[in-house]
Structure 1
Amino acid sequence: MENRQAGTFGWLPGPNAAGDATGQIKGYWSATSVRQNETITLYVTVNPSQTYALDIYRLGWYQGTGARLRLHEGSLSGTTQSPCVPDATTGLIACDWSASYTLSVPSDWTSGVYLGLLTNAQGFQNYVLFVVRDDRPAPFLYQQNIMTNQAYNNYPNDGRTGKSLYTYNSYGANTISGETRAVKVSFDRPYADFGFPQADEMEFIRWIERMGYDVTYSTNVDTHADGASLRNHKAFLSVGHDEYWSKEIFDAIEGARDAGVNLAFFAADTGSVQVRFEPSASGLPNRVMICYKSAAIDPVNGPTTTVAFRSPPVNRPEQALRGVMAFVGGMVTSGTLPDYVVTNSSHWIYAGTGLKDGDTVARIVGYEMDRYDSQFAPPNSPNWTLLSHSPFTNYQGNASYANSSIYQAPSRAWVFSSGTISWSRALDGFWHGSADPRIQQVTANLFSAFLNGAPEVQGLALSAPGATTAGTAFTVTVTAVDGQGAPVASYDGTIHFTSSDTSPGVVLPPDSTLSGGTGTFTITLAGTGSQTVTVSDAARSLSATATVVVSSAPRAEQLRISGPATATAGDAFSVTVSAVDGQGNPVPSYSGTIHFTSSDTAAAVRLPPDAALSGGQGTFNVTLTTAGAQTVTASDVASSLPSATASLTVGARAADHLALTTSASPASGSSFPFTVTSLDGFGNTDTAYAGKVRFTSSDTLPGVVLPPDSTLASGQGTFTATLVAPGSQTITGTDVGTPGISGTMSVAVAQTVRSLKVTAPATATAGAAFSVTVVAADARGDPVTGYGGTVHFASSDTSAGVSLPPDSPLTNGQRTFTVRLTRAGPQTLTVSSADGALTTTTNVAVSAAPATRLIVSTATPTPTAGTSLSFSVIAQDQFANTDLAYAGRVHFSSTDTSATVVLPADSTLVNGQGTFTATLTKAGPQTITATDKVVAAVTGNVAVTVQPAAAAKLTLGAPNSARAGQSFPVTVTLTDQFGNVASGYRGAVHFTSSDLLPTVVLPADYRFTAADAGAHSFSVTLWTIGGQTITVRDTVNAALSDSHSVSVGLL
């Protein structure tokens, strides 16, 4: 009746989801479930403070809308509650909020999953979920698995403080776990993000209520608190992600099964991790869930240690209860979910689905999945069955598979595990669009068995041929069937065969069991006429009979042989020989002996020994080894029947070695052809050989040329190679991918001249003769004694005085010559054959002869007097080479012998040269000479022209007496500090006199020119009788001045 009520889509989220970082509106209930007529408290925070609305919906079918609105509170007062702070040790986040709203659950609220939709005044929304229980003994108990949701809940998911039982989505400081994850989580806090992680459960709820099953609801916290209540129902349903159980939950579910309650786990990774509960800070029981995930840090050690159930010290693998279990790598995290692949399709659970082994149901395996793990015991059941084997590639990129399973416990309770979290997607397409009627039928079949029991065997069905030949085996099929004739896969009885034919030669199957409710068996009858075969199960009073008409055997008239059209050399193949009648039917009564021959007479051929046929037929193994068209012939030893021949084509085996051959007689340095053939162990060419051949040789000298890595064409290839070393050499071909496939050939390489080897000293002295030996050598460097060709010499040293040998023949392949080089430094000596085909060059480092002279040079040929002058000295031999080894001491002298001259002290040179400074002071041409202090002949000089320095003194030259009114000459001369006339002076001079008469004539101011060369003459006329002075000075530099006294007399 409930789902006939009007539904609504109003429960679906709007566009503005509240977030944990801002906390526009969030909330949680004081309990995970509540009974009718009881109260439950809501805790809400809004940011900022504002009013909010509360809408409560019951989830179900409701004509496809998915929910029914049961309560609307339009304007509730909301405040911003205090932040929820994690405990520093355990990471526990428990909110200490003030109550916001109390709900008294009406008596007409049907048991189910209820969803509260919170909407603040700004339009932001969030969900709060709880379950209404009625605790009535309905056939089906649906468990809402909120414990696993809480384990993954990392509220507040703000990237800073939120924590769950997982490190991947926990933030902030490390806890006692050594990581950011918490070891305790509380139900006294909102769920992260939108607050509704139950998408898969939603599709299951829609389907089960649409189908009209009588179901009541609870949570796994209720199972923990009152596990005995599970026994009030025919079936317990765990839906969605149910990874975390307490010991009390495990005990309750296992106990329910053993009490005859059917179990269905529509999920994966179910019951794999143990938790404990403790009360909240306010004393409410079961509000804090504890899971250390490590026995090393859990303070409780024993049956309730919070580790995986299969791990020590708990040691309680869930596979024995569920039939399958979670496994490492049992997860996909991206892309389309894998397909469900059917096995054991004859099981009653697949009845009416049309599914066969290997059929698939799309996209319902994952995102977590289970499988049977052989490391752990399966359930205690003779009919435990794996219902699927679904291959997939897991999140690590590894190939894996998942299983679903079903079994019947000794209590007669059925236990089903879907092995996938996403089974519900095939029940209803609301979220994922993956509804599949076949999975809906499987689930309906399961629920029917829960309610009414599994299909029971009502009879045996026997299928046999209507006719057979005496002495010829035939097959029959036996099936255990229910009242509708459908196979009953759970049948575990023993069947027994009998026949009306009691003749000698009758063969009946032994007592047997069926597999999946069916089995195929072989029977041979001997008596002719109408016979019966009966199969029976005495324990269940079941039997079935089939009639078979048996005819007598005909007379053999010929032999027939059949076999494959092709075979591989060395591989055994089967041929079948039949003794047949005129219509070609086998004659079972034939008793002759068969002899075999073949066109392939190779030693390794294996033919069957002479043999009789069984029932007129026989199959034999033959092994041929020679590739090509071959025959196998079967003959009657007594020649009572014509022989029969089968033709076939024998192909080579895969090559196991290579054959390298050549008819050439190779010469050193000359290419020659050779052939490579891929052969099998019998010498057949493997025309299908596709390997790549790599070539190597015992000859590793430069100049060896081998083919590149190559493939063969139809098992053969012709190549060329060039070997250099004379004598016996090998070439080997090796398969690049399979080095064991290889082959080698040996060749004798004739000796030829490959090079000229020149032996010369590494060093020589300029002008000194040295010996050079030339050898005509083969590739290994050995002399070719038969060579007498002419050789020509050349050198990089083309100086006069170089002496090279004339063109000359070698004797017995070699000869020694005399060479003289004169230019110091690295030089080359090149020897070539007359035709230029052979050329070789050697390096000789020529050092200078002892020095015979000193070369003095300067970059300043016109130094200024008194200024330092840089010059260099180089010791050279007679060929103008620098004598790097010169060790003499050099003395310096100059034509300028002035006292102010500065010359270098006696010095040595470095690597035959040195740079020095000198200061000359006498203007004009001068020389600087360097002379070896011991060997005076080793000398040299450089000529320079010394320029005067700047003017430092002005001198006035004038007569001591003059006549009044008569002009007389005066001279002004500028000299530098060393007394040299300052020819470069370009200053201006000014004259004054003590004679102040206006008739006095003094020179005007005068600027010196280059033509003056530092001295200039002037004319002066004085008038005043007596001693007078004439003064001249530089117009700028007052330090340049001079005066002269002149006695002026009468005319």
Structure 2
Amino acid sequence: MQLYPIHPSFTVGDCFDLAVQPRSRFSIAIYQQQGGESMVWVSSVIVAGTRDVAAKLSNGRYVFESTHERKAVRYDEDWNWPTITVKLDAQGLGSGAYAAVAFEVNADGEPRTEVGRRCMARQPIFATPPDSDGMALIIARPRGPAAKIAYIVPIATYHAYNSIGGGSFYGDPVHRTKPQTKVTLLRPGGGLGAQLGYPDDAYDLRSPRQHFTHWDAKFIRWLHAHDFACDFFTDVDLHRATDLDLTQYSVMLSVGHHEYWSQEMRDHVARFIANGGNLAVFSGNTCYRPVDFGPSADINAIRTMNRLGESWPGYNESDLIGLSYGYGGAKYGVWNRWRRKWLKPEREPIGFTVRRHDHWVFEGTQLKDGDTFGAEDRLVGYEADGVPPVANGFEKLADSVQLVGWDVGGFAALGVFKPDFGSGANGGQVFNCGTTDWSRVLLDERASSHAVVEQITLNVMHRFLAGMKEGAATESLPAGETGGALRNQLAQTNAENA
């Protein structure tokens, strides 16, 4: 049972449209990503309208039955499925990342699948395949700014890798599709319910890459655990700048694998930084590939996304975020066409070596210059970004060894950057971790570098939120046993690698 949102985000309290698989009998439950690994049930729905869908109440629950014939669908055209217009049947729900879960039922409204039985019992759901095949990611925007942090969910990147309908921006060897330059956003798979032909993450097999659960869900869980309030938006909101006014926020978050950006997205973020806003990039391969969302006349009804090139000219996204994948590297695995599977997804143990331990980013970590953190956890990769060969003002605080044998084969880097937009001392800053795998280690308390990664993240978040000046104190993790054990572990690791 598949479905997708007509618009990837909606305003809290408003109705939103879901397109549903033809010739299906089903019910809908709404889940939210909060602080746990699983999404939690938060609401049923109130029906405000339908198109080619019958809706009736059975035992106090809506049972939907969609009509229309099932037709062949493509990767680049509106699937034009039957739609239901619904509203959350709950009070007090705020901005956040939600999933609409569709599950098949019989004529009496009883679920026919295990996922449906869990939904009916209001039990948590771990949103990975195959369960997520019946889910649609929907982002609830705030009605007005309610937090200091604007979190941008990378819907464009999720659709870029989704080959459902026969194509994506990449060749999918598993499903035998070829790379294309145009995809529709009106199909399943914008974060959940995708068809993916990418190799598994050898260091986190719980969820596939290019999937909401693999990237953003982890960071959202961390934000919940540390009581950081966020307002949530999507790439489309950032592109349009009608429902998102970045000037109302202190910090913008870019997380996981935020690869595909439009020029309008870049322009809005540049103005945000020039006016004193801070950009925290806990992502890798960030802003590397340019797209547009179709003719400007369709700005309020975005339906498609076009890939404009392999990269920005001269990797000039580094003028905005300090780094570029064009100077970093990646390691994916090897596709074996005879066995029809991905092999060798593992990477060498590569981390970051500290170059400026006295910088505020490293406060509370106990690190010294020359210490390496994250190697055992493969913190660098699977895609990582590096510093341009011509100095651009990026302050490199840590870097990797050369990524020999990787795609590109450069050096990963981590640091801070103040773009030159002519705004002088009033301009904001960028922190860029330079790796896709930051969220994975941040959420893994068993990782050897977890404490360091978490402390750096706390330092960035608190300083950017408070607008602190250089040299001001930041909140640190407890010292003592944790810090001492961390120092001893790092010393032993560095001695072994010497």
How far residue 222 of structure 1 moved from its aligned partner, in angstroms, is 0.2
How far residue 244 of structure 1 moved from its aligned partner, in angstroms, is 1.1
Paired position in structure 1 for 2:236: 221
1:403 aligned to 410, 413, 417, which one? 413
Matched to 2:292, the amino acid is: R
Matched to 1:167, the amino acid is: G
The answer as to 2:373 corresponding to 1:360 is: yes
The answer as to 2:116 corresponding to 1:144 is: no
State the alpha-carbon separation in 1 of the partners of residues 388 and 72 from structure 2: 42
How far residue 240 of structure 1 moved from its aligned partner, in angstroms, is 1.9
1:117 aligned to 93, 96, 101, which one? 101
How far residue 319 of structure 1 moved from its aligned partner, in angstroms, is 1.0
2:358 aligned to 346, 365, 370, which one? 346
Could you say if the C-alpha distance between residues 94 and 483 of structure 1 is closer, same or farther in structure 2, counting changes exceeding 3 Å? closer
The answer as to 2:189 corresponding to 1:191 is: yes
Matched to 1:131, the amino acid is: I
How far residue 37 of structure 1 moved from its aligned partner, in angstroms, is 2.2
The answer as to 2:313 corresponding to 1:310 is: yes
Alignment of 1:18-97 (within 5 A): 25-45=1-21, 49-61=23-35, 64-72=36-44, 75-79=63-67, 81-86=69-74, 92-97=76-81
Matched to 1:372, the amino acid is: V
Secondary structure at the residue paired with 1:404? strand
Checking the alignment, whether the CA contact within 8 Å between 2:163 and 2:172 is kept in structure 1 is no
How far residue 441 of structure 1 moved from its aligned partner, in angstroms, is 1.0
Deviations 1:402-423 (A, max 9, x none): 1112134533412111100111
Matched to 2:11, the amino acid is: R
Checking the alignment, whether the CA contact within 8 Å between 1:32 and 1:130 is kept in structure 2 is yes
Deviations 1:287-333 (A, max 9, x none): 2111242xxxxxxxxxxxxx52225xxxx701121111112671111
State the alpha-carbon separation in 1 of the partners of residues 363 and 220 from structure 2: 24
1:182 aligned to 175, 180, 183, which one? 180
Q: Unaligned regions of 5+ residues in structure 2, if any?
A: 46-60, 106-111, 116-130, 195-209, 333-344, 477-498
Could you say if the C-alpha distance between residues 170 and 83 of structure 1 is closer, same or farther in structure 2, counting changes exceeding 3 Å? farther
Matched to 2:179, the amino acid is: R
Alignment of 1:630-709 (within 5 A): none
How far residue 140 of structure 1 moved from its aligned partner, in angstroms, is 0.8
State the alpha-carbon separation in 2 of the partners of residues 72 and 483 from structure 1: 45
Matched to 1:189, the amino acid is: R
State the alpha-carbon separation in 1 of the partners of residues 162 and 330 from structure 2: 19
Secondary structure at the residue paired with 1:387? strand
Paired position in structure 1 for 2:277: 261
1:291 aligned to 307, 316, 320, which one? 307
How far residue 220 of structure 1 moved from its aligned partner, in angstroms, is 1.2
Paired position in structure 1 for 2:55: none
Secondary structure at the residue paired with 2:2? strand
The answer as to 2:170 corresponding to 1:166 is: yes
Could you say if the C-alpha distance between residues 65 and 152 of structure 1 is closer, same or farther in structure 2, counting changes exceeding 3 Å? closer
Checking the alignment, whether the CA contact within 8 Å between 2:357 and 2:397 is kept in structure 1 is yes
- Aligned residue pairs: how many? 395
Matched to 1:52, the amino acid is: F
2:83 aligned to 96, 99, 119, which one? 99
Could you say if the C-alpha distance between residues 398 and 271 of structure 1 is closer, same or farther in structure 2, counting changes exceeding 3 Å? closer
State the alpha-carbon separation in 1 of the partners of residues 174 and 24 from structure 2: 30
Could you say if the C-alpha distance between residues 172 and 423 of structure 1 is closer, same or farther in structure 2, counting changes exceeding 3 Å? closer
TM-score, structure 2 as length reference: 0.71
Matched to 2:319, the amino acid is: A
State the alpha-carbon separation in 1 of the partners of residues 275 and 232 from structure 2: 20
Checking the alignment, whether the CA contact within 8 Å between 2:78 and 2:186 is kept in structure 1 is yes
Could you say if the C-alpha distance between residues 105 and 395 of structure 1 is closer, same or farther in structure 2, counting changes exceeding 3 Å? farther
State the alpha-carbon separation in 2 of the partners of residues 128 and 169 from structure 1: 24
State the alpha-carbon separation in 2 of the partners of residues 401 and 328 from structure 1: 7
The answer as to 2:468 corresponding to 1:451 is: no
Checking the alignment, whether the CA contact within 8 Å between 2:15 and 2:85 is kept in structure 1 is no
Could you say if the C-alpha distance between residues 392 and 81 of structure 1 is closer, same or farther in structure 2, counting changes exceeding 3 Å? farther
Matched to 1:56, the amino acid is: I
How far residue 101 of structure 1 moved from its aligned partner, in angstroms, is 5.1
State the alpha-carbon separation in 2 of the partners of residues 181 and 284 from structure 1: 27
Paired position in structure 1 for 2:138: 130
Checking the alignment, whether the CA contact within 8 Å between 1:35 and 1:105 is kept in structure 2 is no
Alignment of 1:466-865 (within 5 A): none
How far residue 277 of structure 1 moved from its aligned partner, in angstroms, is 1.4
Checking the alignment, whether the CA contact within 8 Å between 1:187 and 1:288 is kept in structure 2 is yes
State the alpha-carbon separation in 2 of the partners of residues 222 and 283 from structure 1: 10
Paired position in structure 2 for 1:528: none
1:230 aligned to 207, 223, 246, which one? 246
How far residue 345 of structure 1 moved from its aligned partner, in angstroms, is 1.5
Secondary structure at the residue paired with 1:148? helix
State the alpha-carbon separation in 1 of the partners of residues 417 and 174 from structure 2: 39
How far residue 253 of structure 1 moved from its aligned partner, in angstroms, is 0.5
State the alpha-carbon separation in 1 of the partners of residues 297 and 82 from structure 2: 14
Could you say if the C-alpha distance between residues 107 and 377 of structure 1 is closer, same or farther in structure 2, counting changes exceeding 3 Å? farther
Deviations 1:95-154 (A, max 9, x none): 011214533575522100101222224427422101001141521111111111111111
RMSD over aligned Cα, in angstroms?
3.2
Matched to 1:70, the amino acid is: V
Matched to 2:136, the amino acid is: V
Deviations 1:456-509 (A, max 9, x none): 45xxxxxxxxxxxxxxxxxxxxxxxx689x9xxxxxxxxxxxxxxxxxxxxxxx
Checking the alignment, whether the CA contact within 8 Å between 1:84 and 1:93 is kept in structure 2 is no
State the alpha-carbon separation in 2 of the partners of residues 219 and 167 from structure 1: 25
State the alpha-carbon separation in 2 of the partners of residues 132 and 59 from structure 1: 12
How far residue 239 of structure 1 moved from its aligned partner, in angstroms, is 1.1
Secondary structure at the residue paired with 1:416? strand
The answer as to 2:204 corresponding to 1:201 is: no
Checking the alignment, whether the CA contact within 8 Å between 1:269 and 1:326 is kept in structure 2 is yes
Paired position in structure 2 for 1:477: none
Checking the alignment, whether the CA contact within 8 Å between 2:78 and 2:303 is kept in structure 1 is no
Percent of paired sites with the same residue: 26
Matched to 2:42, the amino acid is: R
State the alpha-carbon separation in 2 of the partners of residues 248 and 200 from structure 1: 24
State the alpha-carbon separation in 1 of the partners of residues 92 and 449 from structure 2: 32
Matched to 2:7, the amino acid is: A
State the alpha-carbon separation in 2 of the partners of residues 246 and 281 from structure 1: 16
Checking the alignment, whether the CA contact within 8 Å between 1:200 and 1:425 is kept in structure 2 is yes
